Amino acid sequence: MIKKNKIFIFVSLLAFLFLLAACGNDSGENTSENEEQETTENDEQQTETNGSEEETERTLTDALGNEVTIPANPKRVVASYLEDYLVALGITPVAQWSVSDGASIQDYLQDSLEGVPTIPHDLPLEAVTSFNPDLIIMDSASMVEGNKYNQYNMIAPTYVVGTEQNNDWREELMTIGEIFGKKDQAEQVLEDYEAKAADAKEHIQSAIGDESAAAIWLVGGTFFVVSETLSSGDVLYGDLGITLPNVVKEISENTTSNWSEISLEKLAELDADHIFLINSDQGNGSEMLQDPIWQNIPAVQNNQIYEYEANTSWLYTGPIANTKMIDYVLESLTE
C-alpha cells in the first residue's frame, strides 16, 4: 500500500509539473504574440504619423533604354521645357527653361516658378553643373545626341522621357509621375483635364456648331500656323473637337513642327471662321495686320479675331498650358 501511494504521489507530481510547464509556455507565447502585435501597431502608427513609408531610390529604364537610378527624394531637378509637368505635380525645379539669356521664359508658370533661376534652353554642360543637380530629365532624344547623354550622366543621373521631337504630352505626364513616384497624382491631373475638356467641348459646340478655327502666331513680321495635332492644335482639334480648316490640314500633313510658317498667299486661302492670334509683335506696330491679304480673311472681316500676347500659354504644351488654353477658347467663343 505504501509503495502504491508513493507511485501515485510521484505520478501526480509529474502531471502537475507538466501542466505547470505547459501553462508557462502558453503564457510565454501569448506574451510574445502580444509584444509582436504591439510592435506592428506601433510601426503602423509611425507610418501614419510620417504620412508614408520612407522613400528609397529606384532604377527605371528611360526611352533610350538607359537604366537610370532615381534618387530617393530628388531635390535639385533640372528638367528644361518640362516645367509644366513638374509644377502640375507640385515639384519645383532648381532651374527653369529660358531663351536669350533669360529674356524669354514660360511666363504662364511664373506664379509657381517666380524666383527660380533660369538656364539656357540648350543646357550647356557648365550651366547644368553649376546647379549641382541630383537628377536631370531630358524631354527628347535629340537633346542628348552624340555623346551628350554620357556627359550629362556624369553630372547626375539622366533620364530621357521620349524618342520623338514632339512627344505625346499625356504620356510625358505619366512618365514624369512615375519618375517621382507620383503616378496616382499624375492620373488625377489627367482625369481632371479630360473632364474639363469634355465639358468645354459641349459648350463650344453649342456655341459655334461646326464652324472652324485656327491658331496663328505673328512674330517678327511672319505668320505661323499651329499644326493639327501638336501644341494648341491638339487642344483645338483633338480635345475640343473644333472643325479643322483645310489650309491648316494641308500644312500639317507636310510638317513635324508645332508651328509652321504660312505665306501671305496661303494665308489668303485660310477658310477659318475664327482665329486665335498670338501676337508677339504687339507694340511694334504689327504692320502685317494691316496687309490687305490679312484684312480679307473671312474671320477678320467678321471680327472673329481673338488676340493674345505671347506670354500666354498658347505657344506651349502640358496639363497647365492646355488647361489655360481651354479657358481662353471658352472665353472667346462662348461669352
CATH number at residue 308: 3.40.50.1980
Q: Among 181, 207, 223, which residue terminates a domain?
A: 181
Q: Are residues 265 and 208 both part of a single domain?
A: yes
* pLDDT, tens only, 134-152: 999 999 999 999 999 999 9
C-alpha–C-alpha distance, residues 282 and 290, integer Å: 13
Please tell me the least confidently modeled range out of 69-78, 129-138, 181-190, 286-295. Answer: 286-295
Q: Is residue 47 part of a domain?
A: no
Q: Among 181, 213, 245, which residue terminates a domain?
A: 181
Q: Is residue 139 part of a domain?
A: yes
Q: Is the pLDDT of residue 17 over 90?
A: no
Q: Is residue 272 part of a domain?
A: yes
* pLDDT, tens only, 75-111: 999 999 999 999 999 999 999 999 998 889 999 999 9
Q: Are residues 201 and 327 both part of a single domain?
A: yes
Domain hosting residue 105, numbered range: 58-181
Among candidates 251, 207, 193, which has minimal Cα distance to 226?
Answer: 251
Q: Are residues 297 and 246 both part of a single domain?
A: yes
Indicate the number of domains in the chain: 2
13, containing H or E segment: helix 2-50
- Pair 247, 258: CB distance under 8 Å: no
Q: Are residues 142 and 212 both part of a single domain?
A: no
Q: What is the pTM of this model?
A: 0.82
Among candidates 312, 299, 313, 306, which has minimal Cα distance to 332?
Answer: 306
Read off the pLDDT band of 283 (50, 70, 90).
Answer: low
Q: Are residues 160 and 221 both part of a single domain?
A: no
